[in-house]
Amino acid sequence: MRVTDDRYCRDRLRFDLALRLIGHEARTHTIRTWTGLTEDRVRKLYRTYIAEHPQERIARRRGKSPQRCSYFLRPPRMQQEAAVLAGLFCMVGIVSHGARLDPHALSVAQGELLCLAYETYLGLVAEPRISFEHAAFLVLALAHGDELTLSHCNACGALTVDDRYALRASACGVCAPAARGLPDEAPAGPAMRAPAVPAAARGTPAPARLGPVGRG
Ligand SMILES: [Zn+2]
């Protein structure tokens, strides 16, 4: 009886996580990677989700998941948002020194932490550009560390996401234009939706510089 209960709880957590990922328009492959569910199960859950949330327009994304680390390195606005997200990964504990994320053995708890970090990012950043698919790719790329690495701006100490093999010392999106004698590349203004970034998010780029940007 106890074994059955435990299995029920585990399955329930998996399904809950899968529904949360569907809500973020994650691809089937991504949902399978983070929940361990079969493709058939994910397909049925899609139908369930759509039936239960008829008012929501959830896109069923197809094709390959993101694979280019360079996506997070330019333009400066993207690099800043990647740094914010990376800071949140560190805060929730899914990315940490010495910890490995094995894409073949991810736990439901790790999937929940990824969702928590991503949902916090959506709540903090005005007009966020990073999709959930890219966030899931970023967390694995940072954990793997063979192309992207976390470092600190050489001027202000903010957390930055960098090319692991970059020859120049890194500067954040705020300090890099200043060092070149250029005006800030992101407009000043009320950037974050929340009134202030949590103290634990120190190290992420200065919130006031993450202003809304036009689309396109
Ligand atoms: Zn800086």
Average pLDDT over the chain reads 81
Question: In terms of Cα–Cα distance, which of 71, 69, 63, 61 is closest to 26?
Answer: 61
Higher model confidence: residue 160 or residue 61? 160
Burial, 43: exposed, middle or buried (Cβ in 10 Å; 0-12, 13-18, 19+)?
A: middle
C-alpha of residue 29 to centroid of ligand 1, in Å? 36
C-alpha of residue 99 to centroid of ligand 1, in Å? 26
Q: Tell me, what's the pLDDT at 178?
A: 67
Given the structure tokens 């390959």, which residue do they identify? 64
Mean pLDDT of 192-208: 39
C-alpha of residue 211 to centroid of ligand 1, in Å? 16
Given the structure tokens 């894409």, which residue do they identify? 103
CA trace torsion 191, 197, 203, 208 (10° rounding): 20
Q: Tell me, what's the pLDDT at 87?
A: 95
Does residue 214 have a pLDDT over 50? no
pTM for this entry: 0.78
C-alpha of residue 170 to centroid of ligand 1, in Å? 9
C-alpha of residue 153 to centroid of ligand 1, in Å? 5
pLDDT digits (tens, 9 = 90+) for 18-77: 999 999 999 999 999 999 999 999 999 988 888 888 777 777 777 788 889 999 998 889
Q: Residue 195: pLDDT band by 50, 70, 90 thresholds?
A: very low
Cβ < 5 A residues, ion ligand 1: 153, 155-156, 158, 172, 175
Mean pLDDT of 174-199: 52
C-alpha of residue 93 to centroid of ligand 1, in Å? 23
C-alpha of residue 137 to centroid of ligand 1, in Å? 25
